Amino acid sequence: MKSAEVARRFLGFFEERGHLVTPSASLVAEDPTLLLVPAGMVPFKPYFLGQRTPPAPRMTSAQKCVRTPDIEEVGRTARHATFFQMLGNFSLGDYFKEGAVTYAWELLTRPQADGGFGFPEDRLWVTVYEDDDEARDLWHARVGVPLDRIQRRGLADNYWHMGVPGPGGPCSEIYYDRGPDHGREGGPVADEDRYLEVWNLVFMQEQLSAVRSKTDFDVAGGLPARNIDTGMGLERMAAILQGVGNIYETDTLRTVLDRAADLTGTAYGRERRADVSLRVVADHVRTGTMLVADGVRPGNEGRGYVLRRLLRRAVRNLRLLGGREAGLLHELTGAAIAAMGEQYGDLARTADSVHAVIDAEEESFLATLRTGTALFDTAVADTKRAGGARLAGDQAFRLHDTYGFPIDLTLEMAAEQGLQVDEDGFRRLMAEQRDRAKADAREKKTGNLDVSVLDDLLVGAGGTVDFIGYDAVRGDARVVGLLVGGAGVPAAGEGAEVEVVLDRTPFYAEGGGQLADQGAIRTGSGAEIAVTDVQAPLPGLIVHRGRVVKGEARAGDTAHAEIDLARRRAISRSHTATHMVHAGFRRALGDSAAQAGSENSPGRFRFDFTAAGAVPASVLRDVEDEVNEVLVDDLEVRSFHTSLDEARAMGALALFGEKYGDEVRVVEVGDYSRELCGGTHVASSGRLGLVKVLGESSIGAGVRRVEALVGIDAFRFLARENVLVAQLSEQLKARKEELPERVAGLVARLRDAERDLERLRSQQVLAAAGSLAEGARDIGGVAFVGHRAPDGTGADDLRRLAADVRGRLAARPAVVMIIGVPRDRPVVVIATSDGARERGLTAGALVGTAARALGGGGGGKDDLAQGGGANAAAVGDALAAVERAVGAA
């Protein structure tokens, strides 16, 4: 049974029993405390917490999930994977234990010919919480499971909660006995490899007041409405139903795995090390594909770092398998899209964009590997020259942190060179970095706001704040809550920095690339709050941030909210222009030019899109011309709500990675542009006035950024440009069309003059070599030259001068120290002759002495070394320090 069929049967079974089928939420979690969705119940959490009213009392879903804490185990075991799908049925105050138990048993044991999964009843075992007699009796008396196949387990195994105060309850798990070839007898308590968990039924029945750990919490009492949350791992079910040994051999993962084997000339099942690498590649490419399709971009923090790490681990394992050429991830991404496309139709529509992002990351990492390999070779040579047998932990960390070189690749390559790696030192540095990153992430996610406080505000607003800003720029409201420093307060006086939640608001919260509205909130008690920012930290919750400039604001007050209309209009012009430029680029470059971000500010905007390389200037000009022609036509801009399927049928563009509900808002600019969008826009294209594209640049692997001006800002820019061109034309005595050629000629002559000056300066510096050698002072039998070169002398000239003077003193023990200040930062070069080195005077050690006096560092070989520092005033101290060191030798 294919994976897609497993999902269809599960969802169809529960739909027939009154459950609303809900599509998978995006992997990008709405919950600000999560980077990615790690469990199937996460999208339903607001319903369980009472923050939102569920659309139905019974629901079912097949949810995409990603977990990476055990990433090192991926491929090594039969059950670890980063991407997986959870099939779940949920009851919110409807059926409870009996319904959940009977539904699960019926679906599992019903013959496949009748729409079930056809599990033999005598192969199924059940676990229940140790005190849950009700569940035990239901399994035995209602379903018929023998008592010897029902096992009791404690809090660690069979009690569920979210890790925070809230709902919790016992759970019951169903296991499939794979047979004696897979482990010991005795049920799940004896061996969870032989007895494989296939379904977990959570009975939410208690309200937890405090949670200290998985097994240590306080129960405040029963929930007012008892709920059911179940989860079945699709990949694990598919493995059993397809009769394969592990999840990597199921249809979706095996498709990618076999393609990886073909591309690398390997075969699965022959050698464990190769099998592990093939599994890692299959898992990571599939996960990366799904993440990119949901809008995640490779980066150095957060979910972007998760994606980058996965893709780079995939490349690294391909290299271990012998695949070193570029383009392998492109082929494997295509295999993943084909494998998952039956379940997720959007993959085919976004394939070009997914390929563009992953191709660029692969190309970038292959270049990184080339750089990292060269640095690794240098580190190995230095280690061996010093007689060491182990690569330092800080060197391995630098390769990893600065150049993205995986530690496991460093370990393998070091072993090939007969070296070990200081793994403890490396992992200590990694742990320190992770701790810093976690602290930063906690600070960035919600600012000063506690998520539980946000939850309470959302409930106080009736589950959602009513946004009236599409049709109104002002309106009356009620102050639901006030926050100061992240904590709820009953009132806030003049001068206080506050966060305000209203029950309804015309203020647009920053989102979809559009900056937040600004304006004022005036309360019935006479207070005035200047609003400078508006955010939506939770779906449905709008938080106004600002300062009380008059009176005292109080929770519960009536209020009048009014936005800055001029700012809103300017931002709306930018947003509409972004839609039009997006349409223009797709016409010019094809569908692969998918939007990857934007920012709509007053008078200007930036638009990010996926592209393999730089956009030619001619294309920028053509798109600009086309958009401005559309402005002249003054096309109507209209918006309306419809179903997601209907919007797609009419060709509306769904932005890459955005999350949409069943009902969506479509914004049209005549027939030129049609997109799904929640932002604000002008009434007609002519109101934009003018769009001026400033240029484009790279902002990351496979992503380009275009910046442009709109309306009066564009006119002002062109006016300034015209004045500047007129001034240049006058000064250069050339017509405007001749300026590029005339300026290019001037620049060429200037460069030639600079090269001539540099050559003369170098000759003057080197001409001093003879007199410096003649003036060498004898310090304990060593000829010492200490010289400060003219300011501005470059490091190359300093090295040449030091070597030249040393050559003139080669017959004697000699130390030559040349110091200069090229760019306000001192540079020191020291050269030593053979005779000086025989006395123990090495250039590297002496440079260290000088550099410490300068407040810096340096190093090099025994005969020639270079260093520097930050303190130009200490040049004399550095000369004196080296002279003392020579005298003490």
Query: Would you list which residues are annotated within the binding site for Zn(2+)?
Result: 575, 579, 677, 681
Closest CA to 576 of 704, 657, 713, 691: 691
Distance CA 785, CA 803 (A): 12
Rama region for 201: left / alpha / beta (φ>0; ψ in -120 to 50; rest): beta
DSSP per-residue letters across 203-215: EEEEEEEEE-SSS
837: buried, middle or exposed (CB in 10 Å: 19+, 13-18, 0-12)?
A: middle
What residues are paired with 132 via a beta bridge?
none
Amino acid letter for position 435: D
State CA 716 to chain mean position distance: 37
Closest CA to 390 of 363, 423, 438: 423
The phi and psi torsions of 185 (rounded to 5 degrees) equal -75, 165
Closest CA to 858 of 882, 833, 835: 882
Distance CA 324, CA 888 (A): 55
Do residues 39 and 231 lie in contact, with contact meaning Cβ atoms separated by under 8 Å? yes
Distance CA 634, CA 794 (A): 59
The phi and psi torsions of 292 (rounded to 5 degrees) equal -65, -40
Closest CA to 15 of 63, 56, 43: 56
Distance CA 885, CA 888 (A): 5
Closest CA to 99 of 6, 9, 230, 199: 230
Distance CA 473, CA 572 (A): 13
Range 755-790 burial, b when 16+ CB lie within 10 A, else e: eeeeeeebeebeebbeebbeebeebeebbbbbbbbe
Point out the annotated binding site: 575, 579, 677, 681
What Cα–Cα distance (Å) separates residue 472 from each residue in 377, 505, 506? 65, 9, 6
888: buried, middle or exposed (CB in 10 Å: 19+, 13-18, 0-12)?
A: exposed
Do residues 620 and 595 lie in contact, with contact meaning Cβ atoms separated by under 8 Å? no
Distance CA 655, CA 671 (A): 18
Other C-beta atoms within 10 Å of 637: how many?
22
Torsion of CA 470, 476, 482, 483, to 10 degrees: 20
Find where tokens 């060491």 sit. Answer: 388
- Two tokens at 591? 């569908």
